[in-house]
Amino acid sequence: MEDISVLPASGFDRKKRTGSELADFFREVRGRHRGERFTFLCIGTDRSTGDALGPLVGSRLVEYGLSNVVGTLQYPCDADNLEKRTSEIPQGHIIIAIDACLGSSGSVGLYLVSGQPLIPAQSVGGSLPAVGHYSVAAVVNVNGPKPYWTLQMTSLYQVMKMAEEIACSITDGFKSDDLVENMVG
């Protein structure tokens, strides 16, 4: 796999976005890479309510007809298999990494979008490699002294709502006549 630590474009700093602003982020990413192929790397596990966001997004994207999706409820991309799954992404694909995270109380329900790689498990003290050319970190709950417990006790409603917002924003942001041509392959 190519070196994903190299940013695809400058001036794409991490920003907080609401659900209604996510499609703009995806349209901007798509506009920067006309004619290139994308893979959505949806990180997380179905064994923790808060960390199920990525697999929920991946499953919805597959239901919406996207084929370059890594990480679904049936086949999660989690800490145990992240490196193997990312190594299977075809060379040249633009990777958009999606994961849940913990943050401040004022950020719950918001998304941190960036033209930088995502560092999975960072909010729970994990040490996994950075992944993606672009990233979306969904703030599903408040960071506290027991992050694993917090993820376990995160509202399923909140996670499902945010996962649906991301999936709908991706399909809206990439919507066009050439969607199938650029997404599959």
Domain positions in the chain are 15-175
pLDDT of residue 183: 45
pLDDT of residue 151: 85
Selection from 42, 69, 66 nearest residue 53 by Cα: 42
Instruction: Flag residues of the chain having pLDDT under 70.
Output: 1-12, 122-126, 176-185
Contact 147, 124 (CB under 8 A): yes
pLDDT of residue 45: 94
15-175 CATH, one of 3.40.50.1450, 3.30.365.10, 2.40.160.20, 3.40.50.970: 3.40.50.1450
Contact 154, 102 (CB under 8 A): no
Place of tokens 């990439």: 174
pLDDT of residue 176: 57
pLDDT of residue 42: 98
